[in-house]
Homo-oligomer: A and B are copies of this chain.
Amino acid sequence: MRFETVLIVGGGLIGSSIARAVRAKGLCKTIYIADTSEAACKTITSLGIADGVADGPADHFAAQADLVILCTPSGRLATTAMALMSSMKSGAVLTDVGSVKGHFVEALSGHVRADIHFIPGHPIAGTENSGPEAGFPELFESRWCVLTPPEGVDAKAIEDLTAFWEGLGSDVEVMDPSRHDMVMATTSHLPHLIAYTLVGTAIDMETVTRKEVVKFSAGGFRDFTRIAASDPVMWRDVFLTNKTATLEVVDRFIEDLTALKRAIRWDDGDTLLDNFAKTRDIRRRILDADKD
């Protein structure tokens, strides 16, 4: 057992899934969950997925925890870390599950106690559902979890946290925070922004009713609505904290879309065909990667 006691701060989809998986796999002896929402805490208690639940300050839990995992929206990560830091045990590991890493690392820079192992993390896992009821123990199985340890962090602590995520069923990759943020801007943040925009555009059309949009959604639209149903607060925070990388990929996307729009206007079928043909290969590679 790498960590005897774990404190999960934020018991939503991700936090409650970690609690369920930790219990199912027997990874820790004691599981505490803290959440600022009283209603969420009631649900967590009735689900029976934690040994202790706090709907206010969680210092008493932090004092006992060998591992503290912050699962709040990205915008609250830094202040939550600061609030708990002074109560934490010497030698404990402090991590998070936020979708943006550079902003968090920078905000805590110079504020992390020397006797605490600070290793930011990001499991690439989720669903469009939110809240404690939405969690399930298999969420992290066969998923990547990226860790972005600052230079000089204790190797044993990284090894322990890696083993913890592997215990949840994930593959672990160590990356630099800024590289993580650019990769995620491309593979996750841009797709979410696009999906939110597309669904918004469709429901704002005066010439097409919402009833028609729902009725004929099987033509492609439907796939976007799943992503566009993701937690609004979490995603607001992602875009605001990963601003530079997001704006860069959005600009490129608009350029590329404008080029295709121009090809449509000028009946340039060859440009369309070239662009549409080159995207098939990536799908094949993703399906191949699934098999491995």
Contact = CB atoms under 8 A, between A and B. Distances in A.
Contacts of A264: 239-240, 243, 246-247, 250
Looking at chain A's contact residues, the main secondary structure is helix
Interface residues of A, number: 92
Interface in A240-292: 240, 243, 246-247, 249-254, 256-258, 260-261, 264-265, 267, 269, 272-273, 275-280, 282-286, 289
Contacts of A225: 279, 282-283, 286
Interface stretch (A80-88, A151-159, A209-217): A209-217
Contact of A200 (B182, B200, B275): B275
A216 B240 contact: no
A204 interface: yes
A286 B222 CA distance: 8
Interface stretch (A1-9, A101-109, A187-195): A187-195
B204 A256 contact: yes
Interface in A25-74: none
A201 B249 contact: yes
Contacts of A214: 282, 285-286, 289
A24 interface: no
A276 B216 contact: no
Contacts of A202: 186-187, 190, 282
Interface string A124-163: 1110100000000000000110100000000000000000
A286 B99 CA distance: 28
Given A233-B273, A250-B261, A276-B236, A143 B218 contact: yes
Contacts of A192: 220
A183 interface: yes
A236 B247 CA distance: 29
A244 to B, nearest CB: 10
A229 interface: yes
A187 B220 contact: yes
Nearest to A195: B220
A81 B190 CA distance: 42
Given A183-B212, A214-B289, A240 B267 contact: yes
A219 interface: yes
A258 B258 CA distance: 12
Contacts of A265: 243, 247
A223 interface: yes
Nearest to A235: B276
A236 B270 CA distance: 8
A144 B229 contact: no
Contacts of A261: 247, 250-251, 254
